[in-house]
């Protein structure tokens, strides 16, 4: 059996690596339009950072795992084709800002239609709006030359930074197919692939539309939990309650559960906002205005939380951060990833830059080029020293990338933790305090540090959702 995956990204790369690892008898090829991406996958510098990924790639690459730009050849030779291309939010036209942009996805579907010479199972892996399989079927049938393309939905639930663990030990694998004899047969073929390492009772079979919708709903529910606890964090600060204690007590109810209740500066990542907006758009298209409004609020609270943090920094620092140096620890959307897509750090940093603060940013995985790109800075003043000052021609804005947390904090008026990297728990905060301007402010956007310990050192501490005690 041969499997081809179109799209060598965060989802396609790790997923196919684990299939190749667990199914040595199956040849797995990952193809992509981007030659640069494929070259990176074939090198020692993989295009994405995921703990454990490189070891698997080293083990399988060249054995039963290939990365190639020859889409036509590998599509035509494969029995199962996964579509794992990006589906960003549309930026213009109908549904702009909400609907999924299916341009890449349709282009992949047309490539399959053109390249196929025999029957195929085509698997939707990227998150798509519900009933996308209908359009996919039409594109494939339109150009089918008598070939049968059986469509399945097999959404991926992996989280970044823990992709390999999620793939090796998934909570569930969801496979949706058409309820026809051919559909059921195709479901069985894919089920057999996963059965190489996933226990039978974790492989869920559903109808196609349920599978497509479940992915959007799972992400919407997860994001909703974060917005719920973040909304409560504001109330905790106002009342003297501690959001960690509240979340712990609430999460002990087995109907609620303890996971995903960490208050933060807001959720980021490539999926949550995009998928909720997509859900909102689908609801609106179906005339369900109240349902759409309900889910919109999850995104609104997330924006509110980011703004609230920026306002807290400014108001605490005597209502001005102009010309003050602020150390930003963490820029990625979460720990253990270099991914900055929709990271709340972008909005927080931009908010501080607009107030004319000088930022020295340290993140263990995010490059200075990426930070510069995300903050839309001017490229011309880029120098390659560890500490870099960038100048925007319109307003003079200053951003530096420090090579470690101590360097970032040296001489700063304030430290902001924006990503919960483990190394930030173990820093020598006494040393940091001594190197800073006084009063030394500390804004913990991820509840990483013990505020009591930092206050004992002398910091003025603000932690999300915790009682405020200045000075
Ligand atoms: C998410 C889903 O978890 C995954 O199942 C889906 O396939 C893709 O989207 P991901 O975005 O990679 O995965 O990471 P996740 O761990 O879900 O975190 C998303 C964001 O929420 C991060 O910014 C994280 O910091 C934030 N978060 C998470 C919180 O603020 N609090 C929490 O308690 C959990
Ligand atoms: C609730 C809380 O469960 C309990 O912990 C608290 O102490 C008091 O309030 P109660 O109102 O007695 O208890 O019943 P509960 O089982 O929670 O149901 C409340 C309502 O939600 C009922 O009308 C029930 O039919 C409805 N419900 C519950 C649903 O519609 N769907 C569900 O999945 C669960
Ligand atoms: P995800 O997080 O969903 O995996 P990524 O953006 O990381 O998304 O990866 C998607 C990949 O799909 C990119 O490497 C992109 O080059 C690739 N891609 C997009 N459109 C096509 C296409 N029509 N054919 C092949 N590859 C594509």
pLDDT digits (tens, 9 = 90+) for 415-463: 999 999 999 999 999 999 999 999 999 999 999 999 999 999 999 999 9
- Between the CA of 245 and the centroid of ligand 1 the distance, in Å, is 21
- Between the CA of 30 and the centroid of ligand 3 the distance, in Å, is 11
Q: Is the dihedral of CA 374, 377, 382, 388 positive or negative?
A: negative
Q: Where are the alpha helices (DSSP H) in 257-401?
A: 272-285, 289-316, 344-354, 368-374
What percent of the chain is predicted at pLDDT more than 70?
A: 94
- Between the CA of 456 and the centroid of ligand 1 the distance, in Å, is 33
Counting ligands in written order, which one lies closest to the CA of residue 274? 1
- Between the CA of 108 and the centroid of ligand 3 the distance, in Å, is 9
Question: Is 209 within 8 Å of 176 (Cβ atoms)?
Answer: yes
Q: How far apart are CA 471 and CA 467, in angstroms?
A: 13
- ipTM of predicted assembly, 2 dp: 0.93
pTM for this model (two decimals): 0.92
Mutate to test the pocket of ligand 3, among 85, 270, 333 (most ligand atoms within 8 A of CB): 85
Q: Is the dihedral of CA 215, 216, 217, 218 positive or negative?
A: positive
Atom of ligand 3 nearest to the CA of 108: 23
Strands 398-401 and 414-417, sheet pairing:
unpaired
Pocket lining: 334 vs ligand 1, CB cutoff 6 Å: yes
Atom of ligand 3 nearest to the CA of 270: 2
Ligand 3 residue neighbourhood (C-beta within 6 Å): 6-12, 32-34, 37, 84-86, 104, 107-108, 126, 270
Q: Which residue has the tokens 């999460």?
A: 251
Pocket lining: 166 vs ligand 1, CB cutoff 6 Å: no
Q: How far apart are CA 168 and CA 426, in angstroms?
A: 30
- List, for residues 259-306, the tens digit of each pLDDT value: 999 999 999 998 999 999 999 999 999 999 999 999 999 999 999 999
- Between the CA of 254 and the centroid of ligand 2 the distance, in Å, is 13
Of 434, 371, 430, 432, nearest to 404 by C-alpha is 432
- List, for residues 327-384, the tens digit of each pLDDT value: 999 999 999 888 999 999 999 999 999 999 999 999 999 998 899 889 875 433 333 3
Q: What 3-state class would DSSP assign to 62?
A: coil
Pocket lining: 305 vs ligand 1, CB cutoff 6 Å: no
Binding residues for NAD(+): 7-12, 32, 37, 85-89, 126-127, 160, 341
Question: Is 375 within 8 Å of 351 (Cβ atoms)?
Answer: no
Of 79, 97, 107, nearest to 7 by C-alpha is 107
Q: Domains along the chain?
A: 2-198 (3.40.50.720), 207-471 (3.40.50.720)
**pLDDT at site 146:** 83
In this structure, the number of other CB atoms found within 10 A of the CB of residue 374 comes to 17
What percent of the chain is predicted at pLDDT more than 90?
A: 79
Counting ligands in written order, which one lies closest to the CA of residue 256? 2
- List, for residues 389-418, the tens digit of each pLDDT value: 343 433 335 788 888 999 999 999 999 999
- Between the CA of 191 and the centroid of ligand 3 the distance, in Å, is 24
Q: How confident is the model at residue 134 (pLDDT cuts 50, 70, 90)?
A: confident
Question: Is 276 within 8 Å of 299 (Cβ atoms)?
Answer: yes
In this structure, the number of other CB atoms found within 10 A of the CB of residue 315 comes to 11
The arithmetic mean of pLDDT across residues 184-188, rounded, is 98
């Amino acid at each position: 059996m041969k499997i081809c995956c179109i799209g060598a990204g965060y989802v396609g790369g790790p997923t196919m690596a684990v299939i190749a690892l667990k199914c040595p008898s199956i040849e797995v090829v990952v193809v992509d339009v981007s030659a640069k991406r494929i070259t990176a996958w074939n090198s020692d510098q993989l295009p994405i950072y995921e703990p454990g990924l490189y070891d698997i790639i080293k083990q399988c690459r060249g054995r039963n795992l290939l990365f190639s730009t020859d889409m036509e050849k590998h599509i035509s030779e494969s029995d199962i084709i996964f579509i794992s291309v990006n589906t960003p939010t549309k930026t213009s036209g109908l549904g702009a800002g909400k609907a999924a942009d299916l341009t890449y996805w349709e282009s992949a579907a047309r490539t399959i239609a053109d390249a196929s010479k025999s029957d195929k199972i085509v698997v939707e892996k990227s998150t798509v709006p519900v009933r996308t399989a209908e359009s996919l079927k039409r594109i494939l049938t339109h150009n089918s030359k008598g070939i049968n393309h059986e469509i399945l939905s097999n959404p991926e639930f992996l989280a970044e930074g823990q992709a390999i663990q999620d793939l090796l030990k998934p909570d569930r694998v969801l496979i949706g197919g058409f309820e026809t004899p051919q559909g059921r047969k195709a479901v069985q073929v894919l089920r057999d692939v996963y059965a190489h390492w996933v226990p039978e009772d974790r492989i869920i079979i559903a109808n196609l539309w349920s599978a497509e919708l479940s992915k959007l709903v799972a992400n919407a529910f997860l994001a909703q939990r974060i917005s719920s606890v973040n909304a409560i964090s504001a109330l905790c600060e106002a009342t003297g309650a501690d959001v960690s204690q509240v979340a712990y007590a609430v999460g002990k109810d087995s109907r609620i559960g303890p996971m995903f209740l960490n208050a933060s500066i807001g959720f980021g990542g490539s999926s949550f906002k995009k998928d909720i907006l997509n859900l909102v758009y689908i609801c609106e298209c179906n005339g369900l205005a109240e349902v759409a409004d309900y889910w919109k609020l999850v995104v609104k609270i997330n924006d509110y939380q980011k703004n609230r943090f920026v306002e807290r920094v400014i108001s605490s620092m005597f209502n001005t951060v102009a010309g003050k140096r602020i150390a930003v620890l963490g820029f990625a959307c979460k720990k253990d990833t270099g991914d900055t897509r929709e990271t709340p750090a972008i909005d927080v940093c931009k908010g501080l830059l607009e107030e004319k603060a000088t930022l020295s940013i340290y993140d263990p995985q995010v490059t200075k080029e990426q930070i510069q790109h995300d903050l839309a800075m001017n490229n011309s003043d880029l120098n390659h020293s560890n500490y870099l000052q960038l100048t925007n021609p319109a307003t003079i804005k200053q951003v530096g990338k420090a090579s470690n947390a101590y360097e970032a904090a040296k001489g700063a008026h304030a430290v902001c933790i924006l990503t919960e990297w483990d190394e930030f728990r173990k820093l020598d905060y006494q040393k940091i305090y001594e190197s800073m301007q006084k009063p030394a402010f500390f804004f913990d956007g991820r509840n990483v540090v013990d505020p009591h310990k930092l206050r004992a050192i002398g910091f003025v501490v603000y932690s999300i959702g915790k009682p405020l005690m200045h000075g």
